[in-house]
Copies of this chain bind each other. A is one copy, B any other.
Amino acid sequence: MKTLIIISHPEVDQSSSQQFLIQSISDTMRTNVTVHILEKTYPDGKIDSAYEQALLKKHDRILFQFPFYWYSSPPLLKKWQDEVLTEHFAFGYRGDKLAGKELGLVLSIGIAEKEYQTGGQEGYSISELTKPYQALARKTKMSFIRPLSIFQFAYQSEQEKRRLLVRYQQYVTLKRPDSLKTREKWMIEELKTTAIDTLKMDNAEFIINQTIDQIEDNRMELDELRMHIDNFHD
């Protein structure tokens, strides 16, 4: 599966959250992941639609990654939508070039999650505010995958950021459906391919193997529990 991350941010170099996300995509990952920053590729704002359409065709999962200013994307991504997702390519007669692909959103949001609900400071949920993107996926026959919303990155602890890193990498590379089981498999695969010498501790190999064992033991226990519950219901 190939993933295209389309990033739009008016000042991407100054954005600590965008830099954190971009740098988390390792060279190994980049075999199947393309990071595409619109403001870097098109500093004058003139978009090469033919190039962009060719790029889209080569990928299976398309992610829009941007700061959620005024409940939408920065202007350059909107320009990209209007100029690249044209009739006969993305919709309309013979416009099936995106059909069957996945569309996801990676939103960085400055306000706390709890405010995005009725009675909260923002008053509307992310599900309500992203309707235009859901409608876009629908019209272009893409599957809309649930957004990855990153609330208040600046206030996150080191541990929260590490968790975010894993969540983000899974969002970019994990095959659907996104379940605990597939996330476990993904994690074991990642641990097995981790270059031991990149880790700053003596017993790195031991800890990695211990962790893999732990995940596998947990899985066996969970499967057993499920079996018992299923039997109980029969």
Binding site for B on A (CB under 8 A): 10, 45, 69-76, 78-79, 81-82, 85, 122-124, 128-129, 131-132, 134-136, 138-139
Complex CA distance for A74 and B75, rounded to whole angstroms: 8
Complex CA distance for A112 and B122, rounded to whole angstroms: 31
Complex CA distance for A112 and B54, rounded to whole angstroms: 31
19 pairs, CB–CB < 8 Å, chain A vs chain B: A45-B45, A69-B81, A70-B81, A70-B85, A70-B132, A70-B136, A71-B136, A72-B78, A72-B132, A73-B78, A75-B75, A75-B76, A75-B78, A75-B82, A122-B135, A123-B138, A123-B139, A128-B131, A129-B132
Number of copies: 2
| In-complex Cβ contact of A70 among B71, B74, B76, B82 (8 A) | B82
Complex CA distance for A17 and B76, rounded to whole angstroms: 25
User: What's the least CB distance linking A22 to chain B, in Å?
Assistant: 21
Which of chain B's residues has its CB closest to A138's CB? B123
Complex CA distance for A85 and B76, rounded to whole angstroms: 18
User: What's the least CB distance linking A15 to chain B, in Å?
Assistant: 14
Is the CB–CB distance between B135 and A129 below 8 Å?
yes
Is the CB–CB distance between A82 and B74 below 8 Å?
yes
Is the CB–CB distance between A135 and B71 below 8 Å?
yes
Complex CA distance for A69 and B139, rounded to whole angstroms: 12
